[in-house]
Amino acid sequence: MEETIKTIISLQSGEKATRLMQEHNKLSFIVSKSSNKIEIKNEIERLFNVKVDKINIINKVRGERVAIVKLKPGNSAMDLATKLGAV
């Protein structure tokens, strides 16, 4: 069965995103404009087999919507980013 991705557009990488991964166990995703925190949480947990602790959403001036996802202890943001090829 094919898994459909409705909410997550891409994983952000860069200096700030890497620092969030290393210091705070957080990942940054660009998400669809119509998504909410519950949809984002459910999709990340389903796709990547991790547990989400908290989500903050930022609406950028350029029109992007960014979800900062904090993973629960025992789930490594760096390991997940490495599996996804972002680091």
List pLDDT tens digits, range 4-54: 678 899 999 889 999 999 999 999 999 999 999 999 999 999 999 999 999
Nearest to 76 by CA among 23, 12, 14, 38: 23
In a domain, 48, yes or no: yes
Coil, strand or helix at 19: helix
CATH number at residue 33: 3.30.70.330
Q: Is residue 73 part of a domain?
A: yes
Q: How many domains does the chain fold into?
A: 1
- Rg of the chain in Å (alpha carbons): 12
C-beta separation of 60 from 70 below 8 A: no
Confidence (pTM): 0.88
Residue 79 lies in domain: 8-83
Q: Are 43 and 6 in contact (CB under 8 A)?
A: yes
Is residue 57 domain-resident? Answer: yes
User: 3 in a domain, yes or no?
Assistant: no
